[in-house]
Structure 1
Amino acid sequence: MKKIGVLTSGGDSPGMNAAVRAVVRKAIYHGVEVAGVYSGYQGLIEGNIKNLEAGDVGDIIQRGGTKLYSARCEEFRTEAGQLKAIEQMKKEGLEGLVVIGGDGSYRGAMALTKRGFPCVGVPGTIDNDIPGTDYTIGFDTALNTVIEAIDKIRDTATSHERTFIVEVMGRDAGDLALWAGLAGGAETILIPEESYDIGDMIDRLQKGRDRGKRHSIIIVAEGVMGGNELKALIKEKADIETRVSVLGHIQRGGSPTARDRVLGSLFGARAVEVLIEGVGGRAIGMKNHQVVDYDMTEAFTAEHNADMSLYTLSKELAI
């Protein structure tokens, strides 16, 4: 290939900039021109595309968010929208595209691949919910943000002898809640992958109080219910007062951790190699600490599974 493009789509995640940087510089290293597509698929349709040089991606590896911006685009879901995007790609001389994002972004990449424009997906989402890869770019940074918040909340929970509910993101995946709950020493963790028993939760709170524990942390994934909804449920069932902290979009921001910078660099570089080989419809990931590429359709046909051994361990340690 003589020229490729790169875009970021869907929710931003720390480490996306590291991946963009890797795509640009890896392509240039191999003598391939590269262009940045701004504002995701919306920018692709509108032709918001700019050639990038090595210096254009300098000093971004440490920044959260995405230099290329991101946007939702309903028009791209249609055949007409996809054909507009293809015309813009032809106009710019793009022969392939690296798409950094989640499963929705992958679906768009697969649609272009089927229309003759090879795309490679790079998993960028704090939810860690892309099948085919053990980790996604942004998960580690978001996880550390949540843990830092839990540590601070525990200080005030201890001081005031209260039970706090912390609602975390993750959409329909519980990885963020599960890992943060275990690392933060939470007494209870609610995730979408495991049914919960409100009676058991209340019983655990009461047992803690009986042995002299006067504060507790409950982590609830947004895919289970909202923190305020859980607060009302606990009040109704046990007349226990709780406080709620909804961390919200703070979990997406911040300077990426070293792990996410390395992941972004590895994944972006491998995506370029796959495109140079002339292959489309592939997704990049990590399996057993090795960078791999696999059929992109696996990302939306396979099921994401949380590590339930962590869930079991968290219950054993929170006695």
Structure 2
Amino acid sequence: MKKIAILTSGGDAPGMNAAIRAITRTAINSGLEVMGIKRGYSGLINGEIFPMDKEYVADIIQKGGTVLMTARCLEFKQEEVRKRAVKILKAYGIDALIVIGGDGSFMGAKLLSDLGVMTVGIPGTIDNDLAYTDYTIGFDTALNTAVEAINKIKDTSTSHERVSVVEVMGRNCGDIALYAGISGAAEAILLPELEFDKNALYRTILDGKSQGRMHNLVVLAEGIGGAIELAKEIEEVTGIETRATILGHIQRGGSPSGSDRVLASKLGAKAVEVLLEGKTSRVIGIRENKMVDDDIDEALAVERKFDQKLYDIAVVLSK
């Protein structure tokens, strides 16, 4: 193996640049050439490929987003498109591809591997929704962004004695909501993994009012959705002024936390090591603070287990 390429795919996540930097420098120090592919799989099939060196990644570790940019590519589901992508990689003399992204991005890497391309995936998604790894790149930064916003919302909420409903990202995985809810001392945390009882929520808020609570915080994941409608219902039932805040894509941006930079650096270096070992169709992760590499199919088949214990702690602490 003489030359590898890197692409970022799907939603961006803080720390992707740190991974790009780690891959590039580890590969070059191992005697490999490195190519960058812009705009994910879309850029691959359009030939947006260029050489990368140490200088290109010299000042990116602190930057959010991805310098390689990202895009979704529905065309890549077509076999003839993937075959063309393989031919393009061969035209540039690329022996292996490292993909940074989520489960959809990993599936693209798997399909290329089936066509003879050496591939390795690195988990980059703020939702922390890949079950085979304890943490994904971007989760810690997104969490801290949400917590910072919640802290500020609580200040004004207390001043006006309001209920604040804060919607954070997380369609099928409520980790950001759960962790942010605990960190922000929320009275209620609503997650896609669990059904919730609106009447119980109303009672919690009314009980708090009777006990002299100055404000109430409800954190919900976007998988639940309807923050604005829920705020209206809370106000209607409880009589307490209620405001909704949807944090949205602010959680994807910003300079990555130290934890995300270190995690991305470890994962990036490990990805190059795995390729040098001759492995393909692998994904890199972290379990019990140890770097691991798993078969893509096996990793994607791991059933995600909801952290009921952590949620139970949140419930106890909210009382």
When the two structures are superposed, what TM-score results if normalisation uses the length of structure 2? 0.97
* Cα deviations by residue, 1:154-192 (Å, 9 ceiling, x for unpaired): 000000000000000012100000000001111100011
- 1:17 matched to which residue of 2? 17
* Cα deviations by residue, 1:43-67 (Å, 9 ceiling, x for unpaired): 1101100111111111000000001
- 2:66 matched to which residue of 1? 66
- 1:212 matched to which residue of 2? 212
Query: What amino acid sits opposite 1:230 in the alignment?
Result: L
Provide the secondary structure at the position in 2 that maps to 1:108.
Answer: helix
Q: Distance in 1 between matches of 2:149 and 2:71?
A: 28
Cα deviation, residue 232, structure 1: 3.6
Q: Does 2:130 match 1:130? A: yes
- 1:149 matched to which residue of 2? 149
User: What is the identity percentage for the equivalent residue pairs of Structure 1 and Structure 2?
Assistant: 53
- 1:192 matched to which residue of 2? 192
Do the aligned partners of 2:171 and 2:224 also contact (CA within 8 Å) in 1? no
Cα deviation, residue 235, structure 1: 4.3
Q: Distance in 1 between matches of 2:306 and 2:89?
A: 38
Q: Distance in 1 between matches of 2:166 and 2:226?
A: 9
Cα deviation, residue 214, structure 1: 2.8
Q: Does 2:162 match 1:178? A: no
- 1:87 matched to which residue of 2? 87
- 1:39 matched to which residue of 2? 39
Q: Which moved more, 1:133-142 or 1:198-207?
A: 198-207
- 2:312 matched to which residue of 1? 312
Q: Distance in 2 between matches of 1:240 and 1:78?
A: 53
- 2:7 matched to which residue of 1? 7
Q: Which moved more, 1:186-195 or 1:293-302?
A: 293-302
Q: Distance in 2 between matches of 1:159 and 1:240?
A: 13
Q: Which moved more, 1:179-188 or 1:234-243?
A: 234-243
Q: Distance in 2 between matches of 1:268 and 1:166?
A: 34
Aligned residues: 319
When the two structures are superposed, what TM-score results if normalisation uses the length of structure 1? 0.97
Query: What amino acid sits opposite 2:314 in the alignment?
Result: S
Cα deviation, residue 228, structure 1: 1.2
* 1:261-300 to 2 correspondences below 5 Å: 261-300=261-300
Provide the secondary structure at the position in 2 that maps to 1:55.
Answer: coil
Cα deviation, residue 231, structure 1: 2.0
Q: Which ranges of structure 1 fall in alignment gaps of 5 or more residues?
A: none
Q: Distance in 2 between matches of 1:239 and 1:271?
A: 55
Q: Distance in 1 between matches of 2:233 and 2:133?
A: 36
Q: Over aligned residue pairs, what C-alpha RMSD do you find?
A: 1.1
Do the aligned partners of 1:131 and 1:298 also contact (CA within 8 Å) in 2? no
Cα deviation, residue 259, structure 1: 0.4
Query: What amino acid sits opposite 1:71 in the alignment?
Result: A
* 1:155-174 to 2 correspondences below 5 Å: 155-174=155-174
Cα deviation, residue 193, structure 1: 1.1
- 1:75 matched to which residue of 2? 75
Q: Distance in 1 between matches of 2:109 and 2:230?
A: 38
- 1:96 matched to which residue of 2? 96
- 1:254 matched to which residue of 2? 254
Cα deviation, residue 243, structure 1: 0.2
Query: What amino acid sits opposite 1:150 in the alignment?
Result: I
Q: Distance in 2 between matches of 1:185 and 1:274?
A: 41
Do the aligned partners of 1:182 and 1:310 also contact (CA within 8 Å) in 2? no
Provide the secondary structure at the position in 1 that maps to 2:305.
Answer: coil
Cα deviation, residue 240, structure 1: 4.5
Q: Distance in 1 between matches of 2:240 and 2:213?
A: 14
Cα deviation, residue 226, structure 1: 2.4
Query: What amino acid sits opposite 2:3 in the alignment?
Result: K
Provide the secondary structure at the position in 2 that maps to 1:41.
Answer: helix
Q: Distance in 2 between matches of 1:237 and 1:158?
A: 20
Provide the secondary structure at the position in 1 that maps to 2:86.
Answer: helix
Cα deviation, residue 229, structure 1: 2.8
Do the aligned partners of 1:103 and 1:299 also contact (CA within 8 Å) in 2? no
Q: Distance in 2 between matches of 1:313 and 1:235?
A: 27
Query: What amino acid sits opposite 1:283 in the alignment?
Result: V
